[in-house]
Chains A and B, each alone.
Chain A
Amino acid sequence: MKNDKLTPSIAEAVRQCGLRDGMTISFHHHLRNGDYVLNMVLDTVAGMGIRGLTVNASSLFDTHMPIVDHIKNGVVTGLEADYISGGVGAHISRGILKKPVIFRSHGGRPYDIERGASPVDVAFIAAPTSDPMGNCTGKTGPSACGSLGYAFPDALYAKKVVVITDNLVPYPLQDWSIDETHVDCVVKVDQIGDPSGIVSGTTKITRDPVGLVMADTAAKVIAASGLLKDGFSFQTGAGGASLAAAKYLKDIMLRERICGSFGLGGITGYMVDMLNEGCFETLLDVQCFDLKAVESIRTNPRHREISAMHYASPGARSAVVDSLDVVILGATEIDLDFNVNVHTDSQGRIMGGSGGHSDTAAGAKLAMIIAPLSRARLPIVMEHVTCVSTPGETVDVLVTQKGVAVNPRQKELAQRLRDAGLPVCGIDELKARAEAMTGVPQPIARGDRPVAEVLYRDGSHLDTIYNV
Chain B
Amino acid sequence: MSSLVRKSAAGTMESSDVFVEIEPADGLEIEIESVVQQQFGQAIEQAVRDVLCGQGVTGARVRLTDRGALECVIRARVETAVRRGKESA
Contact = CB atoms under 8 A, between A and B. Distances in A.
Interface string A375-398: 111100000000000000000000
B88 interface: no
A1 interface: no
A219 B36 CA distance: 32
A376 B42 contact: no
A410 interface: no
B68 A439 contact: no
A378 B67 contact: no
Nearest to A375: B68
Given A375-B68, A376-B67, A377-B70, A442 B15 contact: no
A441 B68 contact: no
A439 to B, nearest CB: 6
B47 to A, nearest CB: 10
Interface of A: 346-347, 375-378, 437-439, 441-442, 444-445
20 contacts: A346-B36, A346-B39, A347-B38, A375-B68, A376-B16, A376-B35, A376-B67, A377-B36, A377-B39, A377-B68, A377-B69, A377-B70, A378-B36, A438-B40, A439-B71, A442-B38, A442-B40, A442-B42, A444-B38, A444-B39
B15 A376 contact: yes
Of A347, A375, A437, A442, which is in contact with the most chain B CB atoms at under 10 Å from its CB? Answer: A442
Given A346-B36, A442-B39, 18 more contacts: A347-B38, A376-B68, A377-B36, A377-B39, A377-B68, A377-B69, A377-B70, A378-B39, A437-B70, A438-B70, A439-B40, A439-B43, A441-B36, A441-B39, A442-B38, A442-B40, A444-B38, A444-B39
Of B39, B42, B68, which is in contact with the most chain A CB atoms at under 10 Å from its CB? Answer: B39
Interface in B35-84: 35-36, 38-43, 67-71
A247 to B, nearest CB: 24
A369 B9 CA distance: 39
A377 B35 CA distance: 9
List the 3 closest pairs (A to B, CB-CB), nearest first.
A376-B68, A441-B39, A377-B68
A464 to B, nearest CB: 20
Contacts of A439: 40, 43, 71
A376 B70 CA distance: 8
B16 A377 contact: yes
Contacts of B36: 346, 376-378, 441
A441 B16 CA distance: 15
Contacts of A445: 38
B4 to A, nearest CB: 27
Nearest to A445: B38
B40 A441 contact: yes
Contacts of B42: 442
A445 to B, nearest CB: 7
Nearest to A444: B38
Nearest to B74: A377
Contacts of B67: 376
Contacts of B41: 442
Contacts of A441: 36, 39-40
Interface string B2-30: 00000000000001100000000000000
Of B16, B67, B68, which is in contact with the most chain A CB atoms at under 10 Å from its CB? Answer: B68
A91 B68 CA distance: 23
B89 to A, nearest CB: 34
Contacts of A437: 70
Nearest to A446: B38
Of B35, B38, B42, B68, which is in contact with the most chain A CB atoms at under 10 Å from its CB? Answer: B38
Of A347, A377, A441, A444, which is in contact with the most chain B CB atoms at under 10 Å from its CB? Answer: A377
Contacts of A376: 15-16, 35-36, 67-68
A378 B68 contact: yes
B41 to A, nearest CB: 8
A296 B43 CA distance: 52
A375 B16 CA distance: 8
Nearest to A346: B39
Contacts of B43: 439
